[in-house]
Structure 1
Amino acid sequence: MPKKISFSVIYVSDEDPKYKSIELNAHAPTVKGWQSSKNCEYPQEIVLQLETRCTVDKIQILAHQYLIPSKIELFSNNEDTNMVSDVTNINWEYLGYITLSDNQSTGFKSRELKSANVPNCLASFIKLKLHKNHNNSYNINNQVSLIAINVLGTEIEKRRSSNTDTNVLDKLQHILNDPEYSSPYDDLAFEMYVDTEVVKIIKDMEIKKHLAVLSERFEYARKLKQSMECLREAGEKLGKYELEKRHAIEMEDYERARHKKNQIDEYRTYVYQHLAVDQLLEENGVCSKNDDCGEENDGSRTLMSPTSIKIHDKRCPSPSSTNTQQGQVSPHHLPRHHQSPKTGSPGTGSPTNIQSRGSFRRRNKSAGAIVKSTFEQYEEKPLPALRHSQTNEFLRECQLDYDPKQISKLTEREKKQAALPIVVFGADLVEKFYSKHYLDKEEGLNRLKEGLLSYDNSGMHTANKTARAAIFLLHRSLRDKVFSVYSLANEVIRLFFVQYVPGR
């Protein structure tokens, strides 16, 4: 099984003092990534020394949203790390190259994740050669940047632990060496948006789950799987909290930073307790409770989803959260509640709101108002968009600005159907064609119309490819039941054949 191979950056052509190459050695929501110096010379080079010699299967690269290299070439070397004294004199084997989008279709707000399957090769070093940047109005100093790099491969020499049973290790290695399986928790898209501590716990649980299946402890394996899913959601929230805290520190708003730290600690403790993380990890040996599948246990497991955790906290707020609401937090940091898109009522913890979120317990009419915890308040707070800041790409990608007409995200099936239009026009435009709001569909058609009228043959997509992508979206719009959408689709089709097709 290809796994994440740790590495360290040992050489870069140059770097911005504020965004050094050491940032590439770790994966976390708060990493800033490496950035070249202003008006640097091209190509730029980055050399990675792998922790162990391995067979490289895949290299993942997370690019910046507007400091984007036009092309990245990949090289490998299999020399003994102890024998290499000067990395500039290494003989490199060419693996291939990847190209990156100029990101105009997303308005330079999203970062592109590229996963390149490379020919199986033994490697101790990896080199990335970054070519000249894509030009845009935000990249005024012609820089390039990488937020993260991930190397997936198979270790040549398997390391064994002396205090672990050999038979158990053999069974585990049989699973881990399966070339058809790769862990989703080694993927860069997971590690860059989930809290670092939660990532480690989930990876430990994944190994425990494999061993539980081999030992036929299926109830234990089920609990681990369920807890891993809940932990991932909680880890993404903790990652957002950490990003908010760091931004407050950079703005020297230390009161707000302290408030965010308290939210992180409270929410982390709450999640770990309700998911019984210490019990599931079995650090002190086998725990018989993990194999218990009684009704009472199943009921407690039901409350382990993030939604149920919030419901439980509303009914039984902790003393610390109650005190916080009673005036220990500055009014400048209290969240503004917004209308719930599902219930149409403010998120104030009313009985209707609780029932709509899936609580199976009846509300006591004499219980009075329900007090929210601090991390719950944070969840309902529409965060402001921070313009073009290196530290807030994650916030912008999550689209935290509240919009009552927010369009629905594409399902995996829809993404496969619309793969070509997404590549050509971007996911943001395609989502409008799949939206349930006719105004979104009309906006999508108008944007498609503008894109066809302003098409330039020098763009990265050919006229034929652009035409096939446009026809897919227009065909979908023609079947719409709203007349205004159907009428506008006919107008764009007429424009397509009268103005776009002739001469191309």
Structure 2
Amino acid sequence: MPHKIGFVVVSSSGHEDGFGAKELMVHAPTVSGWRSPRFCQYPQEIVIQMVERCRIRKLQLLAHQYMISSKIEFYISESLPEYFTPYQTERFHRLGYVALSDNEKTSYKARELKSVYVNAVGQYLKVIFHNNYTNRYNLYNQVALIAINIIGDPVDYNEENLDPEVAQIIRKLDEKKQEAVHHENYDYAKKLKQAIVDLQKIQRAPESSMNPPEYSSSPPPQQQLKAAASPQPEKERSTEKKNKRERQEKLPKVTSPKPGPQRRSPSPPPPPLPPPASSTTDSRINVDALPYDERPLPAQRKQKDDTFTYLEPETNEDIVGDTPRSRITGEPEPLTEKASREAGFAIEVFGEALVAGAYSKTWSYREDALVAVYKKLSDMPTTTSKDDLKNMLRAAVFLIRRAIKDKVSSVFQASLRLLKMIITHYIPKHKLSKVETAHCVEKTLPDLLSRTGDTANRHRVMASNFIQEMAMFKEVKPLLIIPVHLVQPLKGTLPSRLALSQVELVENLIKEMGTDNSGFTVDNVMKFALGALDYTTAEVRDKAVRIILHLYQQNRVQVLDHMPTDETIIRKNILYKTLFDGFSKIDGRPTESELKAQKKAAAEEAERKKKEEIQALQEQLAALKEMQSEVQAGKGKEQIPKAKADDRSKKLSMSPNSDTLDDQSSVTNYLDNLCIFCGERDESFTEEGLDLHYWKHCPMLKRCEHCKQVVEIASLTDHLLTECDHKDMFGKCQRCTEAISKDHLLEHVKTKTCNPAKAEKVANRCPLCHENFTAGEEAWKSHLMGKEGCKMNPRRIMALQRTQPGAQAALKAGGSTITKTGIVGAKQRPSITGSKIPAPRAGLTKTTIKPQPKR
């Protein structure tokens, strides 16, 4: 009874990332299916291998809703061709085609399920997709197939008109072969497969000898007799006729194969019937005699996993000692004129027969040629002349270069084994010079690197591993050829797989070889890695970052010399930020993000303290104003006693109270007109007058040139580093502790011409004149206001000129109260350190005064 046939995808002409043909092997509601590459060339094709040889009854295809092929063709085959290319389809026989709807009626929302009824026997099915329908959703001219289902039943060996006993033996051998494959015993499975093929040959040999030599449209008499005698019920024949009519309706161009022995009868093209695999005769090689495990694989096809690795040719290391595939008969095809000219030197050395094998279209001949060269070079006596040895080496390298580019895995591996033998055995054995080793490496390395970008992951890994292994050969390592070649800058046009493989090779070899006398230097590796940071693929950039971080662990100073010093470039480029964060972690320092978090926490703490200080100051001012209001209220209520003149005791008792009230009033009035920073007192120092004084005249204050805030000169450096709106423009010099513009910070640090700062407890540091002077609060007044004070403070001279007349007037008045209160005002200075004076109200520019932090 027909049932669902399992299958695997052998190859496809291409696919979009994430939509490989392997997706067709999974049947699930969420499967995405296969999708052709964007803007691909048509036709596109997929080759499917069924789990066993079967008779296909029906094919079901689920098309995409808008990536729809205009026509889908079907081909079937018993085995794969030698070279699987679109124009070499002699093994595949066309069944026909179906046309799909353009889906415009459903507004490209529904998916079409197409059922195709066929009656064909084989194990390989090829599906060819032609040009897509154009619509507004299909932007990249793609075709897609969501799912494919194969309905059929296994082919009994009795259908091939074999002897019943032989068919029974073949059936048992096939079961054992399937069991061996299930247990991954591929060697045993190959032997069983060969035994099945041999039995089929023996059974069919008498019939083949009876066939007429010429082709005809009708089968031979012997086959007609067997066809008449073959057990085929009338019911089955009528069913096949009905199926044929259905196929003609569904698949108008299908030529269905006829059942029975007629399948073994060849006919002129176009062949309506598939020719048997066992009767194919080829003057070059009887490929059908090979087990299907050793038949040539499709060229240029991507094999993502090794689920069916038994389809690949055997690559056993013991292949060198034996003559492989001894059962293959025939000779390779002769060389073309172009090949003869190209391989003229190799023909002179090895002979035309061997080189013809290396140029053959059959992969087994190409592998045999390399094995023959391997054996010939291994057995070469040491008495051979140097010239002959060199000629053989160079001819072998020529053949190796050609074999490295081969798409067949076994040929590629044979070329690697031969190259390794030449470098590690042949050259040392015959004591050839390093020039010959360099010749081998220089000629083959570019081809090996090109294979690291192969679409087949297995070939890519083999090439990368061999390059790493070859770089560590004791004969190759001193030449420094491979490291120097690998660190060549990446070109922007280089394919991403090649670029990724090259960066991986550099990363792995640096870890193994280091940068001392290895061909890798900090300079050439850093140039390579920095160039890789600009590559378009993220994986390449990430590996370049890892290379730089690895180098930094060994050579920190040299690596930093190659890194950019411009802070803006570092901040804008996320890769540079990652690198510098990595440097900080290696050095045990906090990263930039951690520093920002610490600065933010410190700023928040400082702001909290300032708010507390402002609140305390406001409470003090409120208390003073309350005292002043009480004094004024008491003054209004006070009445001068009009007692008798002789009542002195009462008058004297009131005099001390009046003096005390006068002193308190004078102190309050003095504080109201006093600058708490410079100690200057003026009757014009009202609230607006003090704002103007702070803004223009106070010698202890200065306007920030960047944010226009008024700050104390003593705290100017801290303001520029932590509070200023442009604080990101400044950095701190560890030598002089001052705020320096980042544009000049590097030059400032390198020149070391600044005056070194002393400890804060020992001396103060003036940010204007850059001089150290005595520590303490009063020292700041002396430095910023004194006659011999800071020469760079422009307000100092103005303050001296303004305060000298006031001082002389105070001396003339001789008022001891002023002197006393002046001292009191000076003593109040420490208590209001850290104060924040509000900005002026009279339309002045923003003048928030930043206080000096407590020391």
Query: RCO greater where, 1 or 2, for CA within 8 Å and sep 6 or more?
Result: 1
TM-score normalised per structure 2? 0.18
Larger Rg: 2
Higher helix fraction: Structure 1 or Structure 2?
Answer: 2
TM-score normalised per structure 1? 0.30
